[in-house]
Structure 1
Amino acid sequence: MSQTQEAQTINVKSKRLVSLDALRGFDMFWIVGGDRLLKALLLVMGLESAHAAVSKQFIHAPWHGFTAYDLIFPLFLFISGVTMPFSLGKQIQTGTPRSKIYLKIFKRGLLLVLLGCIYNGMLSLDFANLRYPSVLGFIGLSWMFAALIFVNTTWKSQLGWTAGLLLVYWGAMTFVPVPGHGAGDLSMEGNLVGYIDRLILPGKLYRGVFDPQGTFSLVTGTGTALIGALAGTMLVGKNKLSEKWLTVGLLVLAGIGCVLLGLLWNIVFPINKEMWTSSFTVFTAGLSFLLLAVFYSIIDVIGFSRWAFPFILIGLNAITIYLGAHHVINFGHTTNFFFAGLVNKVGGNWGHFIWAFGFVLIELTFLYVLYKKKLFLKV
């Protein structure tokens, strides 16, 4: 067995970490109705100032800067990296041929690209006006590249790869000139990411001259997934309670360190989700480490998990609810069918709250049926 294989096959547990499903579900909750429900609840409680403050956090930063909503995407990608030492590590440990592992990696990555194109309207067959980049595609390709690095390197090499990718991206964005704009232009029109996409991508870009899931940003997207894989390596094989609490401490330290590094880097290379800058990658990885520490300590260390069951339902079928809530299934129509009468009768803020609550309740009911039938969309 090679050194790389030894590094990736340390006591991989067959039992999945419930905290990962719960954290993934918590992450998705805010884009499938949770944001609307929280804002409606605050209005019902008469907390208008809190509603205004929360509302500002539930929109993306227009360019440079950061809001809580900006964390949802990188946290999901981070979690997909955390699973690598468990899923891919287990395959290596059990002697699965590398060719089969590579095939699964490419299959998953490219399937997410396809689902992303379908989400963007590919079935309309208007390929000239199709937006080819997508959230799902960005996740798929970033995960795929990170997975290929993971199965062929040790954790130390993965740390080096991560640092190298973030530094290369920073250097390219700072020093490679864009025709008509020069080097280091980080505006929407003048940055290197948008220029590359305008050169090579068919169809249309989300913002005309720029796409937030741009091809060159896959460099730092891969970095996000690799940092997640490093977090997963910290979790693997921890059976004793003392080992688990030590891991929680390490996750917290890593989180604080990444947040501080991201804020420092922001001084010279702004935190920007649209371009997925290196500072954004490190900063959001830090927040992801901290959230993972919270969920892991409460659910998998202390063993208190009942409160998280709604999030677990979402996390186990995250792709299903993402596609369903936004395109495939009209949960809004179903909510109107069951709750419109009550909403109209009550009216006002309570009416808005009842509708938002009903929307989430119907989604969770749908996911619970899938859960009981053991139906999960796996890619």
Structure 2
Amino acid sequence: MKNRILSVDIFRGATIILMVLVNTPGTWSNVYAPLLHAKWHGYTPTDLVFPFFLFIVGTSIVFSYQNKMVNNDTYKKISVRTLKLIGLGLFLGAFTVTFPFLKNWTDIRFPGVLQRIGVVFFFASILFINLKWKTLIWVALSLLVGYWLLMTLVPINGIESTLDRAPNNLANWLDVKIFGTHNYKADYDPEGFLSTIPSIASSLLGIFTGLILTSKQEKKATLLMGIGGSFLIIGHLWDIIFPINKALWTSSFVLVTAGWANLILALIYYLTDVRKIQFGSLFRYVGSNAIIIYFLSSFISKVMGQIPVGDTSLHGWLFQKIYVHDFISMEISSLLYGLSVVAFYCGLAYFLYRKKIFIKV
């Protein structure tokens, strides 16, 4: 069991490192191309990062609750953790460095990454501890198919719904109706209301992987690779009629990202558990304090971007003074800044791990 959890920790840690790297370029005007999200339909390697984390949340749920007696205290702990995650996310959306340290009400973003993690964790945990795995398959399938039907068949104010970024896109329309000015963008939020439904399925697919890893199945890595490959094929076929799209978290996107997650996790499992190759300690350190590392990186980056230095911010000043040079392209400079940030948080994660400090949210 220890080795299996090690495999999951390595995957989780690598995912958090990528989340930090993607979120902290030197400048958003010149992002290193591989770290860019797809403009709308389609996906890049960067678009895999957040669904990978929701997937591994599901896998971790199995390790946490599979053999535990479920009682009122279990539901309390799940609820408290959910509220902590949502609270941290709302804090990030509301904080500003100027007194009274809160943005104007209309400028506060309500949805967010941590909020989605909290909601997904809550529903995936409740479903897991109450339903058998066969029933969970039907739940996941219902979420994916139901979301597809909602997004393609429900008209908006009498106008046929579209999957483009437009007012008659059901997910975008609901985000504006529900959150108003509290979205990431004026017309939608990538962690919006309706798209959270299929993101729960991302975590449920991670639960199935966790069940395989804790089962008595032989050749688990081979089985996970087969499942991952199948998800990729089905997801890309579904893309023909329901495009792969991270902002909408389409059902095809769920399957494709879960496919890649299974393939990568299968490889890690094979190397660490089957071949007994020791690697990935750095990822394990970060994975052991995943949420707090992500939160701190987001919070400190936000603060540095708001502290004025001359005609720029502390973030901009550091980037210009240390990383911008005539002999380096701005994209590479931006990447080097991000890598420096990642190195700092990897060092922090190592320190916390060596001191046996594990901050559970």
Q: What TM-score, normalized by structure 2, do the two folds share?
A: 0.84
Question: Aligned residue for 1:74?
Answer: 51
Q: Structure 1 residues 194, 257: CA separation in 2 closer, same or farther (over 3 Å shift)?
A: same
* Conserved? CA contact 1:109–1:140, under 8 Å: yes
Match of 1:280 among 240, 253, 259: 253
Secondary structure (helix, strand or coil) at the match of 2:66 reads helix
Q: Structure 1 residues 128, 80: CA separation in 2 closer, same or farther (over 3 Å shift)?
A: same
Question: Aligned residue for 1:321?
Answer: 293
Question: Aligned residue for 2:80?
Answer: 107
Q: Give the number of the structure with larger relative contact order, counting CA–CA contacts within 8 Å between residues 6 or more apart.
A: 2
Q: Work out whether 1:271 is the aligned partner of 2:244.
A: yes
Q: Structure 1 residues 198, 180: CA separation in 2 closer, same or farther (over 3 Å shift)?
A: farther
Q: Work out whether 1:183 is the aligned partner of 2:165.
A: no
Question: Aligned residue for 1:256?
Answer: 229
Quote the offset at 1:179 in angstroms.
1.7
Secondary structure (helix, strand or coil) at the match of 1:120 reads helix
Q: Structure 1 residues 362, 347: CA separation in 2 closer, same or farther (over 3 Å shift)?
A: farther
Quote the offset at 1:15 in angstroms.
7.0
* Conserved? CA contact 1:131–1:204, under 8 Å: yes
Q: Work out whether 1:25 is the aligned partner of 2:3.
A: no
Find the aligned partners of 1:115 and 1:213 in 2 and give their Cα distance. 15
Letter in 1 for 2:149: G
Q: Percent identity?
A: 33
Q: Work out whether 1:299 is the aligned partner of 2:272.
A: yes
* Conserved? CA contact 2:16–2:286, under 8 Å: yes
Quote the offset at 1:225 in angstroms.
0.6
* Conserved? CA contact 1:256–1:290, under 8 Å: yes
Find the aligned partners of 1:23 and 1:224 in 2 and give their Cα distance. 15
Matches within 5 A, 1:44-123: 55-91=32-68, 95-97=69-71, 99-122=72-95
Larger CA deviation: 70-79 vs 108-117: 108-117
* Conserved? CA contact 1:35–1:58, under 8 Å: no
Q: Structure 1 residues 228, 356: CA separation in 2 closer, same or farther (over 3 Å shift)?
A: closer
Letter in 1 for 2:203: A
Which sections of structure 1, spanning at least 5 residues, go unmatched?
1-12, 38-51
Deviations 1:127-173 (A, max 9, x none): 33211000111111012111111111111111110001101000000
Q: Structure 1 residues 139, 304: CA separation in 2 closer, same or farther (over 3 Å shift)?
A: same
Quote the offset at 1:215 in angstroms.
0.9
Find the aligned partners of 2:120 and 2:340 in 1 and give their Cα distance. 35
Letter in 1 for 2:48: L
Find the aligned partners of 1:300 and 1:16 in 2 and give their Cα distance. 7
Quote the offset at 1:221 in angstroms.
0.7
Matches within 5 A, 1:232-247: 232-238=210-216, 243=217, 246-247=219-220
Find the aligned partners of 1:111 and 1:185 in 2 and give their Cα distance. 33
Which sections of structure 2, spanning at least 5 residues, go unmatched?
96-100, 306-313
Quote the offset at 1:365 in angstroms.
2.0
* Conserved? CA contact 2:231–2:255, under 8 Å: yes
Letter in 2 for 1:323: F
Find the aligned partners of 2:191 and 2:341 in 1 and give their Cα distance. 29
Find the aligned partners of 1:136 and 1:36 in 2 and give their Cα distance. 16
Q: Structure 1 residues 357, 112: CA separation in 2 closer, same or farther (over 3 Å shift)?
A: closer
* Conserved? CA contact 2:111–2:191, under 8 Å: yes
* Conserved? CA contact 1:224–1:281, under 8 Å: yes
Find the aligned partners of 1:263 and 1:230 in 2 and give their Cα distance. 21
Deviations 1:241-278 (A, max 9, x none): xx45x111110000000000000000000000000001
Quote the offset at 1:349 in angstroms.
4.6
- Aligned pairs, number: 337
Quote the offset at 1:96 in angstroms.
4.1
Find the aligned partners of 1:104 and 1:86 in 2 and give their Cα distance. 15
Q: Work out whether 1:309 is the aligned partner of 2:281.
A: yes
Secondary structure (helix, strand or coil) at the match of 1:315 reads helix
Match of 1:371 among 347, 353, 358: 353
